[in-house]
Amino acid sequence: MRAGIYGLKWVPKSYLYRRMNTTTNQVEVIISSVLDNLDLIQILTDSLTDFMSFDEDTAHWIGMSVRESVTNAIQHGNKLDVNKKVDICFEVQPDRISISVKDQGAGFCVDNIPSPLNADNLLKPSGRGIFYIRTFMDKVEFRSLSQGGMEVYMMKKLSPN
């Protein structure tokens, strides 16, 4: 178990987490639509899920879900336009992590996304990202933003020990 500095002593991160978890804490990052930024978001996601003591597999799938969402926002939402931003907001609560990913694109209708499980789509090289997000997260919502763009909201609960 990793430890962090609290006062002048090293203490377990679970202790630090219990100390802070009476409130909701947010971490918001706004990035340009550059794919190289995916690794920055990955590191941040992995740090938060590690801090919250998600098990290794769950942390991996949360990280992948966030990566897929941000990839979609950069590539399909903002069309790789470096002047358009992607806003990623992590909300850390005692029993869950919620992540919102907002782009500045034209938006899309989630109902029109074909299932990658259909026989006709099995061998298509793309179209699995949203399916994976829905598989690995406990709750996923797609919202059209009034100012334009899309928001993907996803949430994962901590398994009770």
Residues found near other proteins in the complex (CB under 8 A): 35, 38, 57, 60, 64, 67-68, 71, 75, 116-117, 122-129, 131-132, 135
Nearer to other proteins, 124 or 139 (CB): 124
H or E stretch at 150: strand 150-157
Nearer to other proteins, 38 or 89 (CB): 38
Nearest distance from residue 12's CB to other proteins, in Å?
27
Strand, helix or coil for residue 68: helix
Neighbours of 105 (CB within 10 A): 22
Q: Which residues pair with 4 in a beta bridge?
A: 11
Nearest distance from residue 42's CB to other proteins, in Å?
9
Nearest distance from residue 23's CB to other proteins, in Å?
33
Phi/psi at 34 (nearest 5 deg)? -125, 130
Neighbours of 26 (CB within 10 A): 11
Nearer to other proteins, 65 or 92 (CB): 65
Nearest distance from residue 78's CB to other proteins, in Å?
15
Instruction: Please identify which residue in the block is written with the tokens 């962090």.
Output: 4
Nearer to other proteins, 67 or 102 (CB): 67
C-alpha span between 96 and 158 (Å, rounded)? 5
Nearest distance from residue 123's CB to other proteins, in Å?
6
C-alpha span between 66 and 41 (Å, rounded)? 8
Instruction: Please identify which residue in the block is written with the tokens 């931003």.
Output: 85
Nearer to other proteins, 92 or 133 (CB): 133
